[in-house]
Structure 1
Amino acid sequence: MTNLRFNAVEVASARSAKTVETPSNRISDYFGEDCFGLPQMKAHLAPGIYKKVESAVKHGTKIDEATADAVATSVATWAISKGATHHTHWFQPLTGSSAEKHDSFFDYTKGIETFKGSTLVQQEPDASSFPNGGIRATNQARGYTGWDPSSPIFIVDKTLCIPTVFVSFTGDTLDYKTPLLKAQEAINKATIDVCQYFEEGVTSISASLGCEQEYFLVDKAFYVARPDLYITGRTLFGAKPPHGQQLDDHYFGSIAPRVNAFMKDFEYQSHKLGIPITTRHNEVAPGQFEAAPLYEEINTGVDHNLLMMDIMEKVAGEHNFAVLLHEKPFAGLNGSGKHNNWSLITNKGRNLFDPEGSLYFLTFLVNSVKAVHKYADLLRASIASAGNDHRLGANEAPPAIMSVFLGSSLTAFLDEVAKTGKLVFNEGDDQYIELGLDKIPGLKLDTTDRNRTSPFAFTGNKFEFRAVGSTQNTATPMTVLNLIVAEQLTNFKETVDAAIAGGKDKEAAIRDVLVQYIKESEAIRFEGDGYSQEWVEEAASRGLSNVKDTPRALDFFISKEAKEIFAKQGVFTEREIEARHDVWSEIYSTKIDIESKTMEEIVLNKVIPASANYVSRLTDSAVKLKDLGLDASTVITTIEEVTGFMKTAKEGVAAMVLERDRVLAIDDTNAQAVEFCDSIKEKYFDTIRAAVDRLELFVDDAEWPLPKYSEMLLLK
């Protein structure tokens, strides 16, 4: 029988780079040509109509029926002129990916293309079949999608896509976008209130987001020859290759022609949709890469990241690649994250995290650190997933312990404040690195270093939330981050106002509260190596949580404290957050269940037969050696070792199947998730994998059925 693995190697080795042509060498010539946001609306709509839409986007005013009709007519005319035949509400249910139902512009009764404002504003997909945590039953299917005018409309595959929220018939949120928009409103209000202490004219703020997206590419032939990859997104088996990432030779190295062609095509498709991708490079692990955009308003940034992942997958297929977005597709190699760069920008253009040596800057810096300290467990829960469990705490990713890195200068300053109780910020001159080379311009020294081991690091004028997983819809961690900072700023304002009402000078009141916060949040600040075992031990002594698995981390969402701030800030009702806890627990269980069943199938249908064939040939060899009067002990020892690993793998699978049946019978969703974690994943996965990976090293290369790491990752 033909070995699919060797076929895959042969096919992948023969591939060449696809030619990619763009209409211009200037991105500005086609950037945003397939999106219809405020700039395009301004060009297409009557001034009065445009002002109403702009007001809705910037100030949250309602769009009336006449305005909706005018926008619908304009956007349909634009879309049809660009070849669009259908329209859809593009929304983000709790599946983790986007959803859409396409309808034609053509009105069969009138024989013309039409698009009404009522259709633009609201549609009705079936709500019962999407994850809802018990909010909707199958016989209660009605749900609504509603247009979000703050995120640009766009065209993909001749379909006009309208970003929307998704809610149930009773108004409960069923998506990722709605809570993010609510959290954005919360932080907008809380931040404006605090800004009034320092300057007039701040009437709105925008949380800014830039998502650095890491991913792997493998040839499509390898992908289809690995059931674990195309079913679960990661390799459940695979022996460590002789050449992995030890030499760091892939990091920032020259980009292979096939990969470069994919990147060029992917970026072109993204740029047409107004996604501001600006950076591409090789990441640390072989076969791993990164794309990074400029910063955008947070809601648009989240939508663009989700859309970008979809574009990646489509374009990769056209280049005979499969893109792997899983947090840990290859054991023993770096995993993939989605580093969320977050800041707050006022309507006057001020970045509130620009360090200017002022009380203004310190107020927002210290309150953000205080928020992470107080609500670290909730922040940990926001990045919990089955995939991220494999990555967090590994040798390349931040641990599950939440901590904040500020850099040596700010840390020394805050340490001094905590020690003396005095807050005096002295601005110094710019510092430069001396290289001893006159021809090299002076390199300006930043106020902070970069700490890749920190889950939440200040990087000069923003915070980088590095612990977010690469597959994740980043709306949840950004919802939580906005929420906890909004809550902290609200508390800060109340405390300062009370001190002022008691007769204290405003600046003195602010300084006193900040000094208090600096002292109270000292434990969350850490400048060292977050990968080290020493930090795990030190964090425990500081009282910081280290919850390593998703089922237990998700429990932080339904704590009394979490429910109170969700309700207070208007982000989730108790019913909604309990439903999400149920949904995310069930998703975790389902993913582990799928992985265990895939593992079972591969072991029984591929690994054991291939190993048995090898043992059979070894046995024939041993018999022939004995017949010739030669020593067969080495062959017999190999047979014993191989059959031992076969036995371990097969018995492990059999025991796992029995245990899985027991776990599947558990009714309580979260209790089942805990059991899938402890009694399936932790108990059996590593044991079975270790046996199979040893078999990969023993079994004749001609017999082994699964493409190996070195083949998938190192072939160009």
Structure 2
Amino acid sequence: MKNIMEVFGVNTFTDSNLRKRVPKKVFEDFKRVQNGEIELSKENADIIANAIKDWATKRNATHFCHWFHPLTDLTAEKHDSFIEPTGDKDIIYRFSGSNLIKGESDASSFPNGGLRSTFEARGYTIWDVNSPPFIRENEIGTTLYIPTAFISFNGEALDKKIPLLRSIDAINKSSVRLLNNLGYDNITCVKPTLGVEQEYFLVKKEYFDKRVDLMFTGRTLFGAKPTKNQENSFHYYGKIKDNVLNFMAKLDYELWKFGIPAKTRHNEVAPNQFEIASIYEIANLSADQNQIIMETIEKLAIKDGFVALLHEKPFSYVNGSGKHNNWSLTTNENKNLLDPKSPTFLIFLLAVVEAVNRYYKLLRAVIATASNDLRLGGHEAPPAIISVFLGNHLTNKLENASISVVDNKIVCNGYTKNKLENVNMINISRDYDDRNRTSPFAFTGNKFEFRMPGSMGTPANCATMINTMISKVLNEYSDRLEKSSDKVVEMNNIMKESFDKHKRIIFNGDGYSQNWYEEAKNRGLENIRTTDVALKAYIDKENIKLLEDENVLTELECSSRYNAYMSRYIEDRLTEVKTLSYMVDKNIFSYAYKYLPSVLLDKQKDEILKILNKLYDKNNEMKTLIEEIEKTDVETKASLLSKKAFEMQTEIRTIVDSLENIIPSSIWDIPTYVELLYKL
């Protein structure tokens, strides 16, 4: 491998690449396009496209593709070659500005939640000018990837990038508006940033290939608890095995070539679970980079004889995998508005608190999937009740009304760090407050950490909703300021009123405790446990008004997301119950019948037969329930799958796990938790 300084960003068409390849005026115009000041002209588009083609083909690229994020948690791509016949049995490389800017895809075949009929096929992919093109190298050939948005023929958003870009625009305008109202005329741009922590499991490919449930659903639908689990958290931050460390080194190297600043890697709590984290970027770029990270993890794992499991809960009894989203706001002067040293820190902090309190159901909706439902509420994943952690120090400051406005600048009195004395003979600074692993939405020094998102989901949804709801609150603050004759007094009133009205969402204690569940109910905070209930936030009138007011989603686009995500939930759950029933018929019964003739003790044989009879009855009940579910409407399907089918699935799993503990491993040839969790 080459030195990192030689390879960082070599596979990404950065600003420096563009600057070297186009006239100065074209580059300056393009930067104005990125800032939303002007539109990209056809002439400049052709010049930029030619520069990108020149760069890519020198890296052996033969094809280009528009890379987009449909309403799945996957990405999509359609490849076209650069070659074009010249008419004399020769070819040339051609890539025009129109090729760069716009592509066409089938908008009816992707999930669209009813926005498009089957016969209405046309959709467009549009280049996201703020996310740079990049190349991917394969054993034979290289492909240029152009990050794009995906819209229908009528202009509706069919993807996760367009709402994110709209929300970035919304919070930029609302933040600048508020800051300008407070006298900060030097602030002309505010961008949301995102730092993403990605967790994943690795299993040997030979074991994965023997588990139909892992192949079809991403998780084990049965598996007896091993005698050793994750007790004492020995795996957490432990010594990394050489073969895993080699994989991690290759992963970092590949990501660095994309210009992705992969920073942290370590063992996670569960056996064979790991984490990678990158340095924060502007939200839409961070979302794109996280998709590249996930795809690169899966691609490299296969090459090293592993399979990467990105499912939120691939194994029972141990930790699931999350994707912590670290969100903040940065100005054009590179100042973090959530840094406690910022003079406007408390305004933006309280805006976040208010936004989460008012729209917490939308935050629950954007992380709602069948797989993430399994993770929330245990093993370091936060509960489904959404709350905000500020820490006792900051909360006490707010409770004591220790906030003031001085010369249009907000200050927080006495918010300083303490010293930890005599720690290994070194004095170090102590943070203002401890961290809270059970908090869904925690302030962690100069950012908020949204801990609820699952490991498979794109960060785009979360960032979109956080940006949107905070933008709404900031605009309301500005509405009041602009009507006031004394903005200093009015801003002080706004902050005090906001805290008093919305402090119910602040909770600094143990989110797993039964006391919190009871207290949250008394505070009026709902415990939304399942996706079918959570997704209804998309079609709530107040939430639709929020999203329309901030120009992020229309009512039709909200409805489409409800329909698309509900359909995904139903299909994911149906796939699980069908796969479990299939494996019972094709695998479990055959193991038992193969073992029974060798059982000598009548009591043991009777016990096994009793278990098999119970399994047979339960599996037939499941098949009947599946037939019933498939005949019902969408909401009934979802309700039955989230409750009755899940309960039946759990009962069948318990029976199968009891058989696994009886039948010898020489007969039970499906890899168990021992192989999956402890052998790499």
TM-score interval, normalised by the smaller of the two chains: over 0.9
1:432 to 419, 440, 454: 419
3-state DSSP class of the match of 1:544? coil
Q: What is the CA-CA distance between 1:419 and the residue it aligns to?
A: 12
Provide the residue aligned with 1:680 in structure 2: 645
State the shift of 1:702 in Å. Answer: 1.5
Paired with 1:357 and 1:319, the residues of 2 have a C-alpha distance of: 47
Deviation at 1:669, TM superposition (A): 2.6
Residue 689 (str. 1) matches residue 653 (str. 2): yes
d(CA) in 2 for partners of 1:233, 1:645 = 27
Identify the match of residue 544 of structure 1 among 520, 525, 533: 525
Paired residue secondary structure (1:280): strand
- Which residue number in structure 2 is paired with residue 409 of structure 1? 393
How far residue 674 of structure 1 moved from its aligned partner, in angstroms, is 2.0
The equivalent of 1:701 in structure 2 is 665
1:214-613 aligned at under 5 Å gives the runs 214-356=199-341, 358=343, 360-417=344-401, 425-427=412-414, 429-435=416-422, 437-438=424-425, 441-498=426-483, 500=484, 503=485, 505-613=486-594
- 2:21 corresponding residue in structure 1: 44
- What does 1:636-675 correspond to in 2, within 5 Å? 636-666=602-632, 668-675=633-640
Deviation at 1:565, TM superposition (A): 0.8
Cα drift, residue 428 of structure 1: 5.2
Deviations 1:523-566 (CA, angstroms, capped at 9, x unpaired): 10001111222211111111101110001100011101011011
Equivalent position of 1:141 in the other structure: 121
- Out of 79, 82, 90, the position equivalent to 2:59 is 82
CA deviation vs aligned residue, 1:296-351 (integer Å, no higher than 9, x gap): 00000000001110111100000000000000000010000000000000001110
TM (normalized to structure 2)? 0.96
Displacement after TM superposition at 1:437 (Å): 4.1
Q: Secondary structure at the match of 1:713?
A: helix
Equivalent position of 2:176 in the other structure: 192
CA distance in 2, matches of 1:565, 1:285: 40
TM-fit CA distance, 1:393: 1.1
Deviations 1:85-126 (A, max 9, x none): 000000111122110110000002452111011111101111
- For residue 409 of structure 1, report the CA deviation from its aligned partner: 1.0
Q: Which residue of 2 aligns with 1:4?
A: none
Q: 1:366 to 1:85 in 2, by over 3 A?
A: same
Cα pair 1:357 1:426 within 8 Å, conserved:
no
Q: Structure 1 pair 116/357, CA: closer, same or farther in 2 (3 Å)? A: closer
Q: Secondary structure, in 3 states, of the residue corresponding to 1:611?
A: helix
Partner of 1:96 in structure 2?
73
**Which deviates more from structure 2 when the two are superposed, residues 367-376 or residues 52-61?**
52-61
Indicate which of 657, 668, 675 corresponds to 1:711.
675
- The amino acid across from 1:314 in the alignment is K
Paired residue for 1:201?
Answer: 186
Q: Residues 428, 606 of structure 1: CA spacing in aligned structure 2 closer, same or farther, 3 A cutoff?
A: closer
**2:108 alignment partner AA:** S
Contact 1:395 1:531 in 2 (8 A): no
For the Cα contact (< 8 Å) 1:418–1:515, is it kept in 2? no
Contact 2:176 2:187 in 1 (8 A): yes
Distance 1:67 1:217, change over 3 A: same
Q: Displacement, 1:445?
A: 0.6
Letter in 2 for 1:638: Q
Amino acid at match of 1:144: Y
User: How far apart are the structure 1 equivalents of 2:183 and 2:454?
Assistant: 37
Give the CA deviation at 1:60: 4.8
- Cα contact 2:574–2:641 (8 A) shared by 1: yes
**1:283 and 1:289 in contact (8 A); partners too:** yes
Query: 1:119 and 2:96 equivalent?
Result: no
Q: Do the aligned residues in 2 keep the contact of 1:551 with 1:677 (CA within 8 Å)?
A: yes
Deviation of residue 380 (structure 1)? 0.9
Give the Cα separation in 2 of the matches to 1:330 and 1:60: 50
SS at match of 2:315: coil
3-state secondary structure, aligned to 1:90: strand
How far the C-alpha of 1:676 sits from its partner, in A, is 1.9
Q: Does the CA contact (< 8 Å) of 2:528 and 2:534 recur in 1?
A: yes
Give the aligned residue type for 1:117: G
Which amino acid is 2:387 matched to?
A: S
Return the letter of the residue paired with 1:654.
Answer: N
In 1, Cα distance between equivalents of 2:315 and 2:227: 14
SS of residue paired to 2:607: helix
Calculate the TM-score normalised by the size of structure 1: 0.91
Q: RMSD of the TM alignment (CA)?
A: 1.7
Equivalent residue pairs, number: 669
Q: Helix, strand or coil for the counterpart of 2:666?
A: coil
Are the equivalent residues in 2 in contact too, given 1:205–1:344 (CA < 8 A)?
yes
- Structure 2, gaps ≥5 residues long: none
Amino acid at match of 1:380: R
Amino acid at match of 1:390: L
Q: Which digits, 9 at most, give the CA deviation of each residue in 1:248-304, with x for residues without a partner?
A: 110000110111111111111111111111100000001000000001000000000
Cα offset, 1:448, TM superposition: 2.2
Structure 2 equivalent of residue 128 of structure 1 = 108
Give the residue type in structure 1 aligned to 2:637.
Q
Q: CA deviation at 1:49?
A: 0.9
1:107 partner amino acid: E
Name the SS for the 1:100 alignment partner: strand
> Could you tell me how far apart the structure 2 residues matched to 1:428 and 1:462 are?
16
Query: Distance in 1 between the 2:402 and 2:337 partners?
Result: 23
Are the counterparts in 1 of residues 353 and 503 from structure 2 also a CA contact under 8 Å? no
Which residue of 50, 55, 58 maps to 2:32?
55
**Aligned equivalents of 2:377 and 2:2: distance in 1?**
45
8 Å contact kept, 1:582–1:670: no
Change (3 A) 1:112 1:679: same
Greater shift in the superposed pair: 75-84 or 193-202: 193-202
1:212/1:290 contact within 8 Å kept: yes
Helix, strand or coil for the counterpart of 1:486?
helix
- Look up the SS of the partner of 1:163 in the other structure: strand
Once residues 452 and 280 of structure 1 are traced to their aligned partners in structure 2, the CA distance between those partners, rounded to angstroms, is 19
Shift of 1:639: 2.0
SS for the counterpart of 2:489 is helix
Distance 1:436 1:132, change over 3 A: closer
The structure carrying a bigger strand percent of its residues is 2
Partner SS, residue 593 of structure 1: helix
Deviations 1:561-612 (A, max 9, x none): 0110111111111111101100000000000111111101111111111012
CA separation of 1:254 and 1:127: change in aligned 2, threshold 3 A: same
1:6 corresponds to which residue?
none
Cα distance in 1 for residues equivalent to 2:423 and 2:362: 48
**Distance (whole Å) between structure 2 residues aligned to residue 569 and residue 261 of structure 1:** 46
What does residue 23 of structure 1 align with? Answer: 2
Shift of 1:672: 2.2
- 5+ residue gaps, structure 1, are 1-21, 622-634
Give the distance between the partners of 1:313 and 1:282, measured in 2 at CA: 17
The Cα offsets for residues 355-404 of structure 1, whole Å up to 9 and x where unpaired, read as 0274x110000111110011111111111001100001123210111100
1:198 CA drift (Å): 4.5
After TM superposition, the structure 1 stretch with the greater mean CA deviation from structure 2, 336-345 or 421-430, is 421-430
Task: Tell me which of 69, 83, 94 is aligned to 2:46.
Answer: 69
Identity %, equivalent residues: 40
